[in-house]
Amino acid sequence: MTVLVTGGAGYIGSHTCLELIAQGYDIVVTDNFCNSLPEAVNRLKTLSGTDFPFYRADVRDADAMDGIFKNHEIECVIHFAGLKAVGESVRLPLMYYGNNIASTVQLCEAMKRARVKKFIFSSSATVYNGDNDMPYTETSRVGDCANPYGRTKYMCEQILRDVSAAEKDWSVVLLRYFNPIGAHESGQIGEEPDGIPNNLMPYIAQTAVGRREYLPVFGADYETPDGTGVRDYIHVADLARGHVAAIRYCKQYTGCDEFNLGTGRGTSVLELVSAFEQATGVKIPYRIEARRPGDLPLYYAATDKAAKVLDWRAEKTIAQACADSWRWQSRNPNGYKA
C-alpha cells in the first residue's frame, strides 16, 4: 500500500515515515518546509535506505496535490502538515485558520478528485474541554478550546466528521496525541523547534546542551503531587506505531472514529526533569516561575479504546524517551542545521 504523508519532514511525520517503511509500506512525502528543513528528508532516506518520492509543496496547492495523486497509486493519506505553536496562534489566528483548516479541506477535495478514501488526521488532546474528569476518554467533552490552535484541531475534526457522513465509503481516523517526546533511537532525527522552545522536553534538552541557561518551571503551586503541571508524555516512536495501527483499522472500517494516543500515565514537570537527569547524567538547572496563562494543572489519556480497537499500546518508558531525546540533542546541538 502507498501512503501519502503530508508534513513528513516534521517531528512526528518523520518518525512515522521511518516506521511505515520498516513495516513495508511505500511512502510519498510532501512538506513545504515552513517548520522543517530538507536535511530531515535526506536523513530519512539515508536511515531507511529508501529513495522515496518527496515533493516540496504546500498542501493548499491544488495543482501540486493533483499531480502527486496522479503520479502515485495512493491509498491512504496521513495529514501531519499544520502549524502547532499555541502562543503564535493567539498572535496570528488567521495564519492558523488559513493553514490548518484550509489544508485539511483542500486535501479532502484533492482526495475526492483522486478517489482516495482513507484519511488519518493528526489531532490533539487539546480538543478536550479542560473541565472533564480525568482521564480524558474519547467520549469526554470536546470544544471550548483554550486557543486558536486548539480550535483549528477541533474544527478540523468536525469537518472530517461531516465529510465522512457524506462520503459513506471513506474511512477517517482522528488521532488525538497527548505530549509527544523522544526521538529515533539512532539519534539522527528528532524535534528541532524554531527559536525558543514552547514545549517542555526540547527546553530541557536545549538546557542540557547549554543553549539555554536554565529551565523555567511554569508554576509549582498547582494541586498536583509536587505542585508542577502533569502531562501524559508519549514516546514519538510509539506514536509512529499508532499510525500504522490506524492504517490497519482503515482497511476494515468506514466512518469517522477517534482515538487517544497516550500512555495513560501522568508525569510532572519536576519528575520529567529528574528522569532526564537520571537517564543522561546531566544536571538541569531550573527556576520556578509564574504559571503560564492557559495551562491546565493536569491531564492524561484513557488508553483502553486504542488498546481494544487498534490493538495498540505505548511501550516505551519515560527513561527511554529522555535517553533518546538526549542522544538526538547531544549529537545535533543545533538540530538539522550544520
Q: Considering only 101-109, 209-217, 241-249, 253-261, which stretch makes contact with ligand WQD by CB under 6 A? A: 209-217
Catalytic residue numbers read 149
248 binds ligand WQD (CB under 6 A): no
Applying CB under 6 A, the span of 30-38, 186-194, 211-219, 303-311 interacting with ligand WQD comes to: 211-219
Q: Which stretches of the chain are assigned E, i.e. beta strand? A: 2-6, 26-31, 54-56, 74-79, 118-124, 171-177, 179-181, 215-218, 230-231, 233-235, 255-261, 267-268, 286-289
Which residue in the set 3, 11, 54, 110 belongs to the binding site for ligand NAD (CB under 6 A)?
11
- Sign of the dihedral defined by the CA atoms of residues 142, 143, 146, 150, in that order: positive
Q: Which span sits near ligand WQD by CB under 6 A: 6-14, 42-50, 68-76, 196-204?
A: 196-204
Kindly state the cell numbers that stand for 312: 495498540
Angle (nearest 5°) at CA 75 between 303 and 14: 60
313 and 307 Cβ atoms separated by less than 8 Å? yes
> Which of 312, 310, 220, 299 is closest to 264 using CA atoms?
299
Instruction: Closer to ligand NAD by CB, 176 or 212: give it.
Output: 176
Which of ligand WQD, ligand NAD, none does residue 269 bind (CB under 5 to 8 Å by kind)?
A: ligand WQD
| Site track for ligand NAD across 104-133, x = CB under 6 A | ------------------x-x---------
> Exposed e or buried b for every residue in 4-15, given b needs 16+ CB within 10 A?
bbbbbbbbbbbb
Q: How far is the CB of 20 from ligand WQD (least distance, A)?
A: 21
- Please report, as ranges, the residues that interact with ligand NAD according to CB under 6 A: 6-7, 9-13, 31-36, 58-60, 80-84, 99, 103, 122, 124, 177, 180
Please report, as ranges, the residues that interact with ligand WQD according to CB under 6 A.
Answer: 84, 86, 124, 126, 179, 198-200, 203, 215-218, 229, 231, 269, 292, 295
